[in-house]
Amino acid sequence: MEKRNVDVVVISDVHLGTYGCKAKELVAYLKSITPSLLILNGDIIDGWQFSKRYFPAAHMAVIKEVLNLMMKQGTRVFYITGNHDEQMRRYTDFPIRKFYPHR
């Protein structure tokens, strides 16, 4: 499948870790594009309803695909926390790229 080159993609309210999440559809979309910039605009992981008992492989596949965009395709990713993923705020300004200096 040929990927579409896009400048900016904004995704919000994914709510990974909940039963209503459309993770499979999101993974299919992410695999179909090559964005220069990906903005994760809040409520990507749902900390309010998060349970260690429910985080299926499809939800982990979303995270893996975002990392794939960063590491293999050079996509810049910005994560803006929302009210459901406020626990991620402690990682503000955490540069993942520093662990992968070749990019």
pLDDT tens readout for residues 14-34: 999 999 999 999 999 999 999
φ, ψ for residue 24 (rounded to 5)? -60, -40
Q: Is the pLDDT of residue 3 over 60?
A: yes
d(CA 103, CA 35): 16
d(CA 63, CA 51): 17
For residues 75-81, give the mean pLDDT.
90
Per-residue pLDDT at 95: 63
Note whether 21 and 56 are within 8 A (CB).
Answer: no
Look up the pTM and report it: 0.82
pLDDT cut 90: percent of the chain above it: 61
What token pair was written down for 55? 């985080």
Per-residue pLDDT at 80: 83
H or E segment and range at residue 71? helix 57-73
What token pair was written down for 60? 């982990």
